[in-house]
Amino acid sequence: MSSVPPPPLPRVAWIGLGIMGLPMASNLLKAGYDVTGHTLEQAGLDRLAAAGGTPAASVADAVRGADVVVTMVPASPDVEAVAYGEHGVLAHAAPGTLFADMSSITPRTSVDLAGAAARKGIRVLDAPVSGGEAGAVEGVLSIMVGGERADFERARPLLGALGTTVVHCGPHGAGQTVKAANQLIVAANIQACAEAVVFLDKSGVDLEAALDVLGGGLAGSAVLSRKRHNFLSRHYPPGFRIDLHHKDMGIVTEAAREVGAAVPLGALVATLVAAARAQGDGGLDHSALLRGVERLSGIGAGRARR
C-alpha cells in the first residue's frame, strides 16, 4: 500500500532582505520552501541567491505566482510603498494569496492594509517579531500575530520555521499592538541595564562578575543575556538599530494615547532613545543606550567603540 505524499509547500515571495529579513528567508529555504525575494540592495539579492533563493527585480516579479507573500521592511511607509500602487503586492498577488506582514508598524496601518487587501480577495496577517538578529539567524523568534484565526492556522507551519513562540493575539492590528508593548518593555529593560552597568562601573565593582550574578537572579532577562557582550565591550554592532527603536517608541506612545493608556516610563525611555539618536548613535545597536548614561555620568564617549 503506497503512502500519500504530503502536499507541496507553498511558494513564498519575500520582500525585504535586511538584517532580519535575509536570515529569516534563509531559514525558510533550509526548511524546504521555494523562496523568491526582492529588496532594494543588490547585496541582499546576491546573498539570497547564495542561500538557494531566487532573486526578483521587482515586487511584482516576486509575488507573481506566490502562495504566500511576506514583507519585512522597516516602517509603515515602507509597507505602504510595497503593498499599494500599480507595482505593489495588492496589484499583483492573486486572489486567495496569504499576505503576512512581519514588519513592525502601527496597528492602524495593519488594519487599513487588511481592509484594502480583503477587497482584492487577499488575506492578511500582521506578524511582527521579537528576538533581534540573533533570534532571526537561530530561528527562535517570538512571533505575535493578528488576523483571522483560519489564516493564522494556515500560516503556522511557515511561521514555525522562523520562530519558537508563535501566538495568535487577536484580530488585525493585535500583533502590532503586542509588538509595541514588547518594544516598550525591551527599551525600558535596556535602559535599566545600562544604568546598572554605569553604577557598577563607577562603584569599582568587577562588572563581569556582577553581570554573572545579576543574570542568575530575578534581575536576569533576555536583554541582559543577549546584550551582555555589548555592555562589557562597549561594542554595538547593529542587531537592532536605535533608529528603529526610536520609530517603535513613537508607535508605542501614539497607540497608547489613542486608547487612553498612561505610559509615563515609556515616554521617558522614548525621550532617552530619541536623545541617543540625536547624539549620532542611531545606527548602533539599541544596547548603545549605555552611551547616553555614560554621557550623563561624565564618562567620555571615547571609551566606546562602534
User: Does the residue 6 lie in any domain?
Assistant: no
Strand partners, 142: 130, 165
Write down the pTM of the prediction.
Answer: 0.91
Residues 138 and 186 placed together within one structural domain of the fold: no
Of residues 120, 179, 202, 247, which has the active-site annotation?
179
Q: Take residue 160 and report the three cell numbers written for it.
A: 514555525
Query: Domain residues for 253?
Result: 178-303
Residues 149 and 214 in one domain: no
State the total domains in the chain: 2
Q: Is 2 a member of any domain?
A: no
Active site residue 227: no
pLDDT tens sequence for the chain (306 residues): 457 777 889 999 999 999 999 999 999 999 999 999 999 999 999 999 999 999 999 999 999 999 999 999 999 999 999 999 999 999 999 999 999 999 999 999 999 999 999 999 999 999 999 998 999 999 999 999 999 999 999 999 999 999 999 999 999 999 999 999 999 999 999 999 999 999 999 999 999 999 999 999 999 999 999 999 999 999 999 989 999 999 999 999 999 999 999 999 999 999 999 999 999 999 999 999 999 999 999 997 545 433
Give me the CATH number covering residue 251: 1.10.1040.10
Are 186 and 124 in a shared domain? no
Statement to judge: residues 289 and 234 lie in one domain: yes
Q: Is residue 248 part of a domain?
A: yes
Whether 156 contacts 177, CB under 8 Å: no
Do 197 and 144 share a structural domain? no
Q: What is the pLDDT of residue 300?
A: 76
Residues 237 and 187 in one domain: yes
Residues 211 and 67: their CA atoms lie apart, in Å, by: 47
- Examine the domain organization and report whether 161 and 16 are in the same domain: yes
Residues 6+ apart with CB under 8 A from 261: none
One domain, residues 194 and 104: no
Give a yes or no: residue 3 inside a domain: no
Query: Is the same domain home to 195 and 283?
Result: yes
In one-letter notation, the amino acid at residue 23 is: P
Q: Are residues 86 and 152 in the same domain?
A: yes
Q: Which of 172, 194, 210 is the last residue of a domain?
A: 172
